[in-house]
Amino acid sequence: MIRKTKIIATIGPSTSSKIMLKKIIQRGVNVCRLNFSHLEHGDAKEIISNIKEINQELNMHTAILADLQGPKIRVGIFEKPIKLKKGDEVVFSTKRKKNTIHISYINFAKDVAKKDKVLLDDGKLSLEVISTNKKDTVVLKVIFGGLLQSRKGVNLPNTKISLPCLTKKDKEDLDFVLSEKIEWVGLSFVRSANDVKILKRIIEKKKLHHKVIAKIEKPEAINEIDSIIEVADAIMVARGDLGVEVPSHKVPVYQKMIVEKCIEHSRPVIIATQMLESMTDNPTATRAEVNDVANSVIDGADAVMLSGETSIGSYPLNVVDTMRKIIRDVERSEHNISKSVINKTLVNNERLLTNAICSNACDIAKSTGAKAIITVTYSGFNTIKMSSYRPNAFIYAFTNNHTILNTLSLVWGVRGFYYNRGTTTDQTIKETKEILKDGNFLKKGDLVVNLASMPAQEKGMTNMMKLSKVK
């Protein structure tokens, strides 16, 4: 059975060898994530090369997501862990001084104010600002203590930080990423639509076509979510940092809200972080984790993402198998997102014709019990639009562009095929059905809905729909 919900796996020491990459891709991974918080360019280049080779060997279209670190704030390096006790006063400094904790954020003292919260190590330790000299030193009181280790992350949920969306490190990583054939770029700690626009302008200036995923991790992003969805190519609900920056009990509601908005606006949406976290060290998942993944599938997420589970975990193959099985069983059930009615308003713009055809294709496929919706695409737009209606039928996309095929590996319900033969619309319809029949995706007598543009040689916007049987 073909899955509609896609699996993203973060690549790290546990999965970076070509042998392991091949195994996880064969077991169901659709997108490989490279986390540039922990990855050197030389290692990344080797992984990218291996993924491309595997795609050729297996005739698959695994996508690559390059995830930029973003303005992540960290404490410095200590000789040994520092014990922070409740009620203690500690001093943070942007300069390396004796009896202070160094912090990487140069404007820390300027940006924070009295009573601001400072969270360390994903919220495990909590401090409150007592005073700041507005230059380089801040005095804090420990609210919830514990052991603080070197290089742990710092979150400032009450503070408007003045860091740019792309740090010096991000720009260096971006130069490398844009020199490689990578489909998706993740932008961390997005605060506004302008952050996304800045990255997209850099990509456009180089006349490249990398797609941007806006990672939602800040309360400011929640407030600006509509404008961010409008400009981004896809959205990631990055629940780790989001659950630290906002009260954790609000995250499930935000997650559902973002998924709904993304489906409405035809934007692929990813649910990420701590999905099967216990499987980093254990061969089986907890019941709560299984439910978490299942609910993301029921909500209609395009993809679910594994982080430490596959990058540093002891059981990466078990993890991928577990996630694949959860997705399969939910999609077979009565709680499948395809059973929901997706209501959309058709907007009168330059894409009205394509949007109207996609909407009606889903209705026709549902009312006739069609097994497939076949799209011929030159940009991927009609296929992503079709996916956003979450049809019962599987979507098979045909294109002569390998980059688009890889890009569509992130998109719900889509299976891509390379096709460069059709010179007429009739020929294309006939041949795409034959390819799917020969591959056992369809059988004689199955109803299919074909979408294409006429005349075929002009490669224009989708303007034609045809319902037919497989012969």
Q: Which residues are catalytic?
A: 33, 74, 215, 273
465 pairs with which residues across the strands? 451
User: For residues 74 and 190, what is the distance between their CA atoms, to the nearest angstrom?
Assistant: 18
66 pairs with which residues across the strands? 34, 185
Q: Which residues of 291-324 are buried (b: 16+ CB within 10 A; e: fewer)?
A: ebbbbbbbbbbbbbbbbbbbbbbebbbbbbebbb
List CB contacts of 278: < 8 A, sequence separation 6 or more. Answer: 285, 286, 289
Q: Which two three-digit tokens encode residue 113? A: 């104010």
Cα dist. 291→65, 275, 330, 379 in Å? Answer: 26, 9, 10, 36
Q: How far apart are the first and last CA of the chain?
A: 22
Q: Which two three-digit tokens encode residue 84? A: 């922070």
Do 400 and 273 touch, CB atoms closer than 8 A? Answer: no
List CB contacts of 457: < 8 A, sequence separation 6 or more. Answer: 423
Residue 46: CB atoms within 10 A of its CB come to 14
Radius of gyration, CA atoms only, the chain: 24
Do 3 and 304 touch, CB atoms closer than 8 A? Answer: no
In the chain, the amino acid numbered 390 is R
Do 125 and 84 touch, CB atoms closer than 8 A? Answer: yes
User: For residues 88 and 136, what is the distance between their CA atoms, to the nearest angstrom?
Assistant: 20
List CB contacts of 396: < 8 A, sequence separation 6 or more. Answer: 372, 373, 374, 375, 414, 415, 416, 417, 432, 436, 441
SS3 string, 407-458, reads HHHHCCCEEEEECCCCCCHHHHHHHHHHHHHHCCCCCCCCEEEEEECCCHHH
Cα dist. 232→165, 312, 385 in Å? Answer: 14, 30, 15
